[in-house]
């Protein structure tokens, strides 16, 4: 997987965190650098950690399913992508938008960071199945991209409101589905 594909993957994975960061920005009276840094650090850190864990879990059983690994990678990315699309069409607004304050406590941010990065664990498994991926470059790019987009999301939320939340999730879902399809087509020799 090349740099461009890894970057698209990083953007796709960061869309859930971006959407939650928009909600955090909505709840803040004024988005400050501290709030942007806190959201970016929690979300970026977990989005980098989870694929690393998933990658190493995937390498443990990669040889056992080598003949179908491309189908596993495609399936996981497609499921995550379709789930993001479904969530974008279903939900009215994110849970944190219902709060009157922007709770940036360790407990709240930990729960949100884990919740928004579960899909990154599955993506890490997919990266192990896809092969030919430098995991250190991948997690660094995923972490930095998520940090940046989450920090920007806080500011966007404080300025524009929830206007971009659904669009971010739609874009993320489409990107992940397309990347899964690319992995499958490459392994089948059609691309």
Q: Tell me the per-residue pLDDT of 66-83, one tens digit each, with 9 for 90 and over.
A: 677 677 767 777 787 787
Taking the CB of residue 182, how many other CB atoms lie within 10 A of it?
18
Instruction: Classify 105 in phi/psi space as left (phi over 0), alpha (psi -120 to 50) or beta.
Output: beta
User: 92-110 burial string, b = 16+ CB within 10 Å, else e?
Assistant: eebebbeeeebebeeeebe
CB 44 within 8 A of CB 146: yes
In angstroms, the CA 28 to CA 103 distance is 9
Mean pLDDT of all residues in 142-168: 83
For residue 101, pLDDT beyond 90: no
148/72: higher pLDDT: 148
H-type helices in the chain, by residue range? Answer: 3-27, 33-61, 69-90, 106-130, 135-160, 165-187
């Amino acid at each position: 997987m090349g740099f461009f594909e890894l970057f698209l993957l990083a953007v796709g994975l960061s869309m859930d965190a971006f959407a939650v960061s928009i909600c955090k920005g909505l709840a803040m009276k004024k988005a400050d650098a501290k709030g942007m840094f806190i959201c970016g650090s929690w979300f970026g850190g977990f989005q980098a950690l989870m694929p690393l864990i998933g990658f190493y879990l995937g390498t443990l059983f990669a040889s056992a399913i080598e003949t179908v690994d491309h189908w596993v990678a495609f399936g996981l990315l497609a499921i995550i992508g379709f789930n993001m699309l479904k969530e974008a069409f279903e939900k009215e607004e994110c849970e944190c938008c219902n709060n009157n304050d922007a709770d940036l406590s360790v407990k709240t941010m930990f729960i949100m960071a884990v919740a928004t990065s579960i899909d990154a664990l599955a993506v890490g498994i997919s990266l192990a199945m896809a092969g030919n991926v430098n995991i250190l470059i991948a997690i660094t790019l995923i972490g930095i991209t998520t940090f940046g987009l989450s920090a920007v999301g806080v500011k966007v939320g404080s300025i524009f409101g929830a206007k971009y939340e659904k669009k971010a999730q739609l874009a993320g879902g489409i990107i992940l589905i397309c990347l899964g399809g690319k992995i499958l087509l490459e392994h089948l020799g059609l691309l």
